[in-house]
């Protein structure tokens, strides 16, 4: 038995020596054993894409489609990791996280960007883009380029503009038809001087709050109502805690797709091209599907909830627009006369009421 154990010890010692000699040789040569399974991982670029809405919304679906197209175009070498529903950052946190480089990509509502450049406030002015065509023309043309370009000095690379649709009004205190119907009501808005002033002009109290807190505050009656697109009203089930929905089409909700500038600059030209092409394709898809989705989900709300739905007539829209006209003058200097005049010209060309 002792002889057997001795042989085993000799064999183990020899095996250990062989391993040490082989490993030591690789170290002296500056090389380590290579594992083929690790090649794809080391070459893959992972981009975290954080956003705050549900996956079944225009932004949520566009983010998924974009990730899929990038994966296909790059043969898996670029991975877009989409984190929806504020799972990584809230809508109040994501912009700072992007600037710090803690996340590589976000798609905040354009309203949020007015804190970086007051030019973005032009998209919040009520009835500034009264038709679908006016929205697409503004976002895809010179106006959109100007807005995206304004982010560069903030370590942010503006890549694309996505649409959600027109904003509507929901409340718990009867139908909203005339501007006076909102007097005294407390409404949730995205933080924005334009939006806050917009509702002040009709006697309401607008409060800028986190999107994902809205349902709870409506349910508890701490708020009377809110403004949002149909897709957000549907995905967050605001219709369950609101009695009335007014189809006013008074405002626009869209998103800027943004990447951390430093991260973008480190990508190769080929990687940047893949991302840009995938975004262009996704943006064209989004700008068609977002309006279609809002139409479909309005029908679902109508068929599957007890909320009362009111449609503003053209005459009623003109009355609201008249009450909000002072906003254009109040924010002219902050937005810039040239940019505002281009938007007004676009509005007047496409006005449908």
Give pLDDT tens digits for 198-247: 999 999 999 999 888 999 999 999 999 999 999 999 999 999 999 999 99
Give the pLDDT of residue 2.
45
Would you call 281 exposed, middle or buried from its count of C-beta atoms within 10 A (0-12, 13-18, 19+)?
middle
The angle formed by the CA atoms of residues 237, 93 and 331, to the nearest 5 degrees, is 85
Integer distance in angstroms from the first to the last C-alpha of the chain?
Answer: 102
DSSP category for residue 224: S
Alpha-helix runs per DSSP H in the chain = 2-28, 39-43, 58-73, 94-100, 132-140, 142-149, 193-200, 214-219, 230-235, 261-266, 269-304, 314-324, 326-330, 332-335, 337-350
Which residue is associated with the tokens 């938007």? Answer: 343
Collapsed DSSP state (helix, strand, coil) of residue 82? strand
The angle formed by the CA atoms of residues 279, 282 and 286, to the nearest 5 degrees, is 130
Cα 163 from Cα 294, distance rounded (Å):
11
For the entire predicted model, the pTM comes to 0.85
Over residues 1-19, mean pLDDT: 47
In this predicted model, which residue has the larger pLDDT, 269 or 21? 269
């Amino acid at each position: 038995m002792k002889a057997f154990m001795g042989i085993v010890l000799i064999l183990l010692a020899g095996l250990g020596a062989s391993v040490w000699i082989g490993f030591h040789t690789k170290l002296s040569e500056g090389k380590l054993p290579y594992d083929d399974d690790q090649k794809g991982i080391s070459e893959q670029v992972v981009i975290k894409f954080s956003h705050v809405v549900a996956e079944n919304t225009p932004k949520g679906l566009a983010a998924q489609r974009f990730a899929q197209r990038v994966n296909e175009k790059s043969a898996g070498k670029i991975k877009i990791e989409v984190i929806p529903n504020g799972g990584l950052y809230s809508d109040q946190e994501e912009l700072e996280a992007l600037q710090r480089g803690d996340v590589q990509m976000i798609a905040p509502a354009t309203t949020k960007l007015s804190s970086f450049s007051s030019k973005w406030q032009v998209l919040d002015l009520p009835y500034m883009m009264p038709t679908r065509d006016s929205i697409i023309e503004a976002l895809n043309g010179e106006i959109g380029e100007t807005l995206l370009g304004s982010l560069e000095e903030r370590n942010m690379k503006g890549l694309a503009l996505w649409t959600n649709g027109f904003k509507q009004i929901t409340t718990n205190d009867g139908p909203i038809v005339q501007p006076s119907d909102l007097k005294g009501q407390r409404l949730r808005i995205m933080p924005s001087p334009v939006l806050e002033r917009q509702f002040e002009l009709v006697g309401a109290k607008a409060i800028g709050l986190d999107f994902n807190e809205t349902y709870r505050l409506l349910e508890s009656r701490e708020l009377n109502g809110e403004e949002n697109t149909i897709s957000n009203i549907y995905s967050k089930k605001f219709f369950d805690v609101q009695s009335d929905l007014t189809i006013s089409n008074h405002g626009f909700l869209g998103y800027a797709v943004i990447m951390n500038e430093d991260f973008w600059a480190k990508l190769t030209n080929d990687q940047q091209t893949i991302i840009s092409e995938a975004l262009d394709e996704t943006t064209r898809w989004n700008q068609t599907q977002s309006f279609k989705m809002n139409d479909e989900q309005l029908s679902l709300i109508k068929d599957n909830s007890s909320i009362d739905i009111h449609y503003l007539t053209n005459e009623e829209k003109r009355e609201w627009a008249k009450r909000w006209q002072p906003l254009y003058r109040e924010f002219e200097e902050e937005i810039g006369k040239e940019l505002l005049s281009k938007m007004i010209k676009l509005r007047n060309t496409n006005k449908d009421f």
